[in-house]
Amino acid sequence: MNQDFKAQLQQAHQQGDYGQILQRIPYAKLIGIECSRLGDELLFRLPANKDNIGNPLLPAIHGGVIAGFMELAAALHLLLFTGSPGVPKVIDFSVDYLRAGQFRDTYAKCQVCRQGRRVANVAVTAWQSTEAEPIATARAHFKIEEALPGS
């Protein structure tokens, strides 16, 4: 990770504004992901966007968009809260779809379940109406880079 990105990441974390970080990620820009900080937690938001619809009859958000949103949320959560010296790399990602993602804003929160020196496990929950009624849950395993001495 270059020094410019590290400085930008640190500034975003201090200010609780992650817009510039998300603008550097093409997929985040494509589907419109937003991120805000609520105390010690991050709240990810996928605004309703007609380009993200998979089933126009319902209409419902495409399952791949929901999964991509959740996977990216988990990676960003790790990057911002673990002090990882680099962007974590996905080892495994498993999603359980619980109900259709209707054409409205979708939210996600992440929780690091376990973090070792090289691997981290993250649980992700996505919802629309209320957090108590998730539309999908996911488990992600990431390879994280070890910090180099003196960095």
The C-alpha R_g of the chain, in whole angstroms, comes to 15
pLDDT tens digit sequence for 92-133: 999 999 999 999 999 999 999 887 788 999 999 999 999 999
Distance of CA 9 to CAs 12, 43, 54, Å?
5, 17, 33
The domain segmentation of the chain, as residue ranges, is 3-143
Q: Is the pLDDT of residue 150 over 60?
A: no
Helices (H) and strands (E) in the chain, counts: 4, 8
**Span 28-84, pLDDT tens digits:** 999 999 999 888 889 999 999 999 999 999 899 999 999 999 999 999 898 887 766
Identify the CATH number of the domain defined by range 3-143. Answer: 3.10.129.10
